[in-house]
Chains A and B, each alone.
Chain A
Amino acid sequence: MELNSRIPDGPIEKKWDKHKFDLKLVNPANKRKYKVLVVGSGLAGGAAAASLAELGYEVECFCYQDSPRRAHSIAAQGGINAAKNYHNDGDSVRRLFYDTVKGGDFRAREANVHRLAEVSNNIIDQCVAQGVPFAREYGGLLDNRSFGGAQVSRTFYARGQTGQQLLLGAYQALERQIGLGTVKMFSRHEMQELIVVDGVAKGIVTRDMVTGEIKSHLADAVCLATGGYGNTMYLATYAKGCNGTAIWRAHKKGAAFANPCFTQIHPTCIPVTGDHQSKLTLMSESLRNDGRIWVPKKKEDCGKPASQIAEEDRDYYLERKYPSYGNLAPRDIASRAAKQVCDDGRGIGETGLGVYLDFEAAISRLGANKIEEKYGNLFEMYERITDDNPYKTPMRIFPATHYTMGGLWVDYNLMSTVPGLFVLGEANFSDHGANRLGASALMQGLADGYFVIPYTIGGYLAGIKPGTRIKADDPAVKAAEQTTSERVQKLFAINGKETPTHFHRELGKVMWEFCGMGRNEAGLKKALQRIPEIREEFWKNLRIPGSGDEVNQSLELAGRVADFLEIGELMCLDALERRESCGGHFREEWQTEEGEALRDDENFCHVAAWEHKGEGQAPVRHVEPLAFENVHLATRSYK
């Protein structure tokens, strides 16, 4: 397998401009002759489907939800970064680029990140033009806030619902195209297979989640924008339906999977209350702008109510360890610090797995009204879930799986190792390295969808003769459809005793314990032994009532869990092979004396891309070396 990143030459600031000019164009009259499938309707998928249709391509878009407006991008709360420098505080494209590369702990591709920083400004302009109601100041200009890991105010926001508003902007642009007849929307459809002919992506097979119909959709190019695979962990901040099926099936058809072990654990989530827990809820990181994180200094204080612990007995550990960033330390660092104090026996709450996020100081400094204005909806949400009033008692928070930086490997054009298969947004691996900074996911999703794919897909399609799509009777199409139906039948045929959720929960426990915030060789080896056991049990003892030709949520879940059981194994394998600590990947064997991540740039300054070699065969690890010519390799320090 060849990993050609196709990074254009020239100085970093000129690469994207030069590349845009070098890309071939498709004649406007020919565009309608090309069909593009977009799987997923979140920020990346929705933006891509709308933008490609505006250009004149024939587009079909798919989502598993009942409407494209529900994609999980909607849940992002905090904001979106852009290098506008509206606040005159020293921001620039160069600085956003620099922060993102450094924040990613030097495991992202410089050229991709620079392009992301360049188009960040266009995104804000585009979204405002669409009517996204960003927060404004009294003068009518856009307001900004600072966000985890950045020392400038570059985060644009719409209350605590930025993701929702950006998604609705993209959704509305998409619906406009649907109304115009240029996009055909298939909601409640789940992609089951990628159709590959002579090594080139030519379509997908979907299952209609209402009628159970299995159907092929043939096209000239396929874009996957299906989000991350963090639900492998079972408990995560993802929507319940988020899954890795589309990328995993594509991986099995030849798309390399890059850095699967790079997962982000978000520091500010509401702690688990019991075994019934079905998901975790994130509290926006913006809370860390005004909240102070602490635990008791003494273990014996942990059982006491927060109000009875004197100021001098509180350990504001982030402020202590990272004086210059304090409570705003990047996510991986803040999460790990929380784990360390809990491992130390100083965690709070019934489970001992929690730390305080305290607003007392901010309330006495700014007043409860100001705090309510800034975070009112988040406080309400917290109270709704926990029945605690955060104006009176500190919030209890704990880290949870939130994002996967890893994903299908793509080149500079966002094309995977399967020609014709493009991967956008969280589903690809490209821009965040080993750790994503806050407010950068929205930026990347929209950058890929609005401003990258419309150019790069043209370059690919210009090389294909129009009207050369494969036909429905092609053997590859029949084979893919058959694989899908057989899989459904196979799941029903097990007829065992346990629910799909049971196996998912079991997998999650293993993943969180051995491939979560801290990883080590022994644990990962144990996980690599345990996961195949769970998988075997799954294929022996699963039970799905009902039938496949109607709405069947157990069947849907079983199909996804079957894939998680394979993805989880690859995550652990990748974590085992990456013998260093970087960003969200913390190998306990590689840490400094102070417990900070210790990178091994000599041996691991690269992307690891895994190639599927067939069922039952070990996957092969390929390497794309990373060069840092503009931001020099350095130890990340937030002290």
Chain B
Amino acid sequence: MSVAEQSIAGAEARGHGFLASSVGRKIVMAATGIVLFGFVTVHMIGNTQAYIGPETFNAYAKFLQGMLHGAGIWIFRAVLLAATGLHIWAAVSLTLDNRAARPIGYRAEQNIASTWASRTMRWSGFILAVFIVYHLMHLTIGNVHPAFDHTNPYANFVKGFQVPAAAGFYIVAQLCLGLHMWHGVWSVTQTLGLVHPRYDSLRRNFATGLTLLVVGVNISYPIAVLTGFIH
């Protein structure tokens, strides 16, 4: 191929936006991923108070509602919404690029190093997005809840999970979260360049440990309700 036709992006493209570049969007994915995984982890820790009892749990909910005279929770929600939006935008735009990068696939494709989790990120992510909407409608807004009571989050929580279908979807979503986190947490370290051979096994173990903890505890709630442990 004659190089006469070649063009070097070079200096003029150098100024091209951080968000337009592939690595830039990956970094957006990673940074927003940290926010979201951080939230999921804190959410999981906060909810363990359900095991202490209705008073503690409801008081915790009230405390969250009243932070910074009620502004806190909205700041929190805005950040989460922005992070989720950016995360989904980056995911969609990178996925479209990646699809376009290989218009013709292989007949005899073999995967060696990749994991099921890494290859299903877009599906686990999609199910999580659906779940988030449902979860908000279920336990925050309450419009898909059988007996929603604004003043009693604990009761909402118990009654909500007494519906087996709701509990089932919740469990499935948590398993997706597990797949997403396991590859995602490790990926964050890779994308942000937090890598050193000395700590390589640590990165993997950290991703596995955090995932098992979050998913394990989260799944315990519907199970505890369904088995009557929490009532």
Contacts and interface: CB of A to CB of B under 8 A. Distances in A.
Any A–B CB pair closer than 8 Å: yes
Contacts of B2: 186, 189, 208
B10 A184 contact: no
A214 B176 CA distance: 59
A188 B10 contact: no
A30 B6 CA distance: 27
A173 to B, nearest CB: 15
A32 to B, nearest CB: 18
Interface in A332-386: none
B4 interface: yes
A179 B10 contact: yes
Interface residues of B, number: 7
A178 B3 contact: yes
Scoring B3, B6, B10 by chain A CB atoms within 10 A of each residue's CB, the highest score goes to B3
Contacts of A185: 3
A499 interface: no
A184 B3 contact: yes
Interface in A164-194: 178-179, 184-189
A210 B10 contact: no
Contact of B4 (A179, A184, A210): A184
B1 interface: yes
B6 to A, nearest CB: 8
Contacts of B1: 187-188, 210
Contacts of A179: 8, 10
A212 B2 CA distance: 12
Contacts of B10: 179
Interface in A199-216: 208, 210
Interface string A468-498: 0000000000000000000000000000000
Q: Range of interface residues on chain A?
A: 10 to 19
Contacts of A187: 1, 3
Contacts of A189: 2
Contacts of A184: 3-4
A184 B6 CA distance: 10
A87 B92 CA distance: 59
A186 B6 CA distance: 11
Interface string B1-37: 1111010101000000000000000000000000000
A136 B6 CA distance: 38
A186 B8 contact: no
B199 to A, nearest CB: 24
A186 B1 CA distance: 7
A238 B195 CA distance: 41
B4 to A, nearest CB: 6
B89 to A, nearest CB: 33
A337 B154 CA distance: 92
A179 B8 CA distance: 6
Contacts of A188: 1
Interface string B131-153: 00000000000000000000000
Nearest to B10: A179
Contacts of A186: 2-3
Nearest to B4: A184
A179 B9 CA distance: 9
A175 to B, nearest CB: 9
Contacts of B3: 178, 184-187
Nearest to A178: B3
A208 B2 CA distance: 8
Contacts of B8: 178-179
Scoring A178, A179, A187, A208 by chain B CB atoms within 10 A of each residue's CB, the highest score goes to A179
Scoring A185, A188, A210 by chain B CB atoms within 10 A of each residue's CB, the highest score goes to A185
B183 to A, nearest CB: 32
A185 to B, nearest CB: 4
B154 to A, nearest CB: 64
A50 to B, nearest CB: 14
Nearest to A179: B8
A178 B8 CA distance: 9
A84 to B, nearest CB: 33
Contacts of A210: 1
A454 B222 CA distance: 78
A193 to B, nearest CB: 19
Contacts of B6: 178
Nearest to B8: A179
A179 B2 CA distance: 14
A178 to B, nearest CB: 6
A188 B6 CA distance: 14
Nearest to A215: B2
A10 to B, nearest CB: 43
A60 to B, nearest CB: 10
Scoring B2, B4, B8 by chain A CB atoms within 10 A of each residue's CB, the highest score goes to B2
A187 B6 CA distance: 12
Interface in B104-131: none
A38 to B, nearest CB: 13
Nearest to B3: A185
A188 B2 CA distance: 8
A241 to B, nearest CB: 17
Nearest to A185: B3
Contacts of A178: 3, 6, 8
B50 to A, nearest CB: 58
B10 to A, nearest CB: 6
A37 to B, nearest CB: 14
B174 to A, nearest CB: 46
Contacts of B4: 184
A188 B3 CA distance: 10
B226 to A, nearest CB: 57
A184 B1 CA distance: 12
A266 B118 CA distance: 49
Contacts of A208: 2
A550 to B, nearest CB: 14
B12 to A, nearest CB: 12
Interface string A529-543: 000000000000000
A176 to B, nearest CB: 10
B11 to A, nearest CB: 10
Given A179-B8, A188-B1, 14 more contacts: A178-B3, A178-B6, A178-B8, A179-B10, A184-B3, A184-B4, A185-B3, A186-B2, A186-B3, A187-B1, A187-B3, A189-B2, A208-B2, A210-B1
Interface of A: 178-179, 184-189, 208, 210
Which 6 A-B pairs have CB atoms at the shortest separation, nearest pair first? A185-B3, A179-B8, A186-B2, A184-B4, A179-B10, A184-B3
16 contacts: A178-B3, A178-B6, A178-B8, A179-B8, A179-B10, A184-B3, A184-B4, A185-B3, A186-B2, A186-B3, A187-B1, A187-B3, A188-B1, A189-B2, A208-B2, A210-B1
